[in-house]
C-alpha cells in the first residue's frame, strides 16, 4: 500500500475545506507574520507581515513548527577518507518496527483523559516524551532496509557508540530537530506582549481552547503538544481539547445535511455514557455491539447517516445497518477499505 504524501494531503484539504469555504472567507495570501498588536477598534488585532502588509483579524490559527537543528558534538569533527566502498546506516539504538509514531490510544480518550487530568505541564511534557519511543520506523521502511541489507547494499550499525570508527566520504545527518517556539520571530513578539510558560520549546496554552493565553491565537499541530498530547500534529489528532470559544466558530461548513453533530442536539436532551461495548473487525466489515442501560424500541433509535470522525476510516452509508433489540444495539458498518479499525479499541 503506498504511503500518503504531503501533496495528497494538500489536495484533500483543498477539496474538503478550502474549496467549500465562501469566497469572502477564503482569501489566500502568501507572507510571513512578524508581529501582532491590538487594534484601536474593539476586539480586533493587527497582524503585520514581513513585506509591510497589515491584516486586521479577530483570530489567528498558527500551524508552523519552529525548530532548531540538532547537531551532535561529534558531527563537528568529521574527517573525509579517501575512498568509499559501501553505505553505512549508523544509529545509537536498535530499530523498532511501529506503524504509528505513538500508540493509537493517544488519538482518543484512552490515554488523553489521564493526560488532560494532569495539571502540571512539566508532567505532561514527560508523558509526551515517554509516549514517543526512539528509533521507530514503519513496516514499509523496515522491509526496504532488510531487503537492502540482504542485498549487501547497506550495512547497519545498531547501538553505535562514539568511540566506534566509521570511515566515510560523504555523511548525511538525520539527527532531527528540536521544537522551539522562540525560534519563530512572530511567536517571540507574541511572548513579549502576552507571556506564557515555555517548556521544552512548547508554549503552555489554554486547555479549553488550545489558544495562547490572553490572545485569540489558536495553536494547531505539534506546537500544541502540552494541550493536545503526544499525537499533536499527527493526522486525526487536530481537535479541540474541550470547550470551543466563540471566536473559534468563525466558519462552519456542513457538507452533508444528514450528519448530526452532538452540538446540534438540544442541551436538555438526556445523555448517557456507554459503559460497555464490543466490536468485531473482519476485513471490510465492522460489527459494533452496544449494551444499553435500559430497554429501547426500534422507533426510539434514529440514524440518518454514519459518522466516525476519530476512526480515520470511512464507511459506505448505503451498506451500513442499525438494529436494536431489547437492551442490545447492533451497528453493522461497511468500510471503504480493509484497513484495520484500531480507534474503537479500548
Query: What pLDDT does 189 receive?
Result: 95
Query: What pLDDT does 196 receive?
Result: 96
Query: What pLDDT does 4 receive?
Result: 63
CATH for the stretch 32-65+179-248: 3.50.50.60
Helix residue ranges, H only, 236-315: none
Question: What CATH class has 262-334?
Answer: mainly beta
**Rounded distance between C-alpha atoms, residue 224 and residue 210, angstroms:** 7
Instruction: Report phi then psi at 219, rounded to 5.
Output: -100, 115
Helix residue ranges, H only, 178-327: 185-193, 225-228
Helix residue ranges, H only, the chain: 6-16, 109-117, 121-131, 139-150, 185-193, 225-228
Instruction: Report phi then psi at 312, rounded to 5.
Output: 60, 15
In the chain, what are the domain boundaries? 32-65+179-248, 68-177, 262-334
pTM exceeds 0.75 for this model: no
Whether 65 and 180 have beta carbons less than 8 Å apart is answered as no
Q: Among 314, 307, 312, which Cα is nearest to 337's? A: 314
Query: What pLDDT does 1 receive?
Result: 45
Query: What pLDDT does 126 receive?
Result: 95
Q: Among 311, 307, 333, which Cα is nearest to 322's? A: 333
Query: What pLDDT does 253 receive?
Result: 45
Sheet holding 285-291, edge to edge: 277-282, 285-291, 328-334, 321-325
10-residue mean pLDDT series, the chain (346 residues): 67 80 74 91 87 89 85 61 68 83 84 91 94 84 88 84 78 84 94 96 90 91 91 65 47 48 64 74 82 77 48 65 82 76 52
**Rounded distance between C-alpha atoms, residue 235 and residue 246, angstroms:** 25
**Rounded distance between C-alpha atoms, residue 230 and residue 235, angstroms:** 12
Amino acid at each position: 500500500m503506498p504511503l500518503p504524501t504531503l501533496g495528497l494531503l494538500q489536495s484533500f484539504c483543498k477539496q474538503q475545506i478550502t474549496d467549500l469555504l465562501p469566497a469572502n472567507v477564503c482569501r489566500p495570501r502568501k507572507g510571513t507574520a512578524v508581529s501582532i498588536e491590538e487594534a484601536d477598534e474593539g476586539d480586533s488585532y493587527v497582524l503585520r507581515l514581513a513585506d509591510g502588509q497589515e491584516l486586521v483579524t479577530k483570530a489567528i490559527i498558527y500551524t508552523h513548527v519552529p525548530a532548531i537543528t540538532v547537531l551532535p558534538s561529534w558531527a563537528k569533527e568529521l574527517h573525509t577518507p579517501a575512498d568509499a566502498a559501501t553505505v553505512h546506516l549508523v544509529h545509537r539504538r536498535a530499530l523498532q518496527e511501529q506503524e504509528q509514531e505513538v500508540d493509537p490510544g493517544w488519538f482518543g480518550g484512552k490515554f488523553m483523559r489521564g493526560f488532560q487530568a494532569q495539571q502540571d505541564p512539566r508532567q505532561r511534557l514527560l508523558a509526551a516524551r515517554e509516549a514517543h519511543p526512539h528509533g521507530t520506523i514503519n513496516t514499509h521502511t523496515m522491509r526496504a532496509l532488510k531487503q537492502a541489507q540482504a542485498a549487501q547494499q547497506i550495512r547497519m550499525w545498531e547501538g553505535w557508540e562514539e568511540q566506534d570508527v566509521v570511515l566515510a566520504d560523504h555523511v548525511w545527518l538525520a539527527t532531527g530537530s528540536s521544537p522551539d517556539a522562540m525560534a519563530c520571530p512572530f511567536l517571540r513578539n507574541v511572548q513579549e506582549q502576552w507571556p506564557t510558560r515555555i517548556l521544552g520549546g512548547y508554549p503552555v496554552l489554554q486547555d479549553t481552547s488550545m489558544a495562547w493565553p490572553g490572545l485569540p491565537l489558536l495553536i494547531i499541530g505539534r506546537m500544541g503538544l502540552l494541550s493536545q498530547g503526544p499525537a499533536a500534529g499527527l493526522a486525526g489528532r487536530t481537535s479541540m481539547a474541550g470547550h470551543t470559544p466563540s471566536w473559534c466558530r468563525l466558519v462552519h461548513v456542513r457538507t452533508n445535511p444528514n450528519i448530526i453533530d452532538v452540538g446540534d442536539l438540544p442541551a436538555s436532551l438526556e445523555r448517557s455514557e456507554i459503559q460497555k461495548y464490543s466490536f468485531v473487525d473482519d476485513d471490510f466489515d465492522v460489527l459494533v455491539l452496544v449494551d444499553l442501560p435500559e430497554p429501547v424500541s426500534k422507533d426510539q433509535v434514529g440514524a440518518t447517516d454514519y459518522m466516525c470522525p476519530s476512526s480515520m476510516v470511512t464507511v459506505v452509508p448505503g451498506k451500513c445497518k442499525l438494529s436494536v433489540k431489547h437492551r442490545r444495539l447492533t451497528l453493522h458498518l461497511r468500510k471503504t477499505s480493509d484497513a484495520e479499525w484500531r480507534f474503537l479499541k479500548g
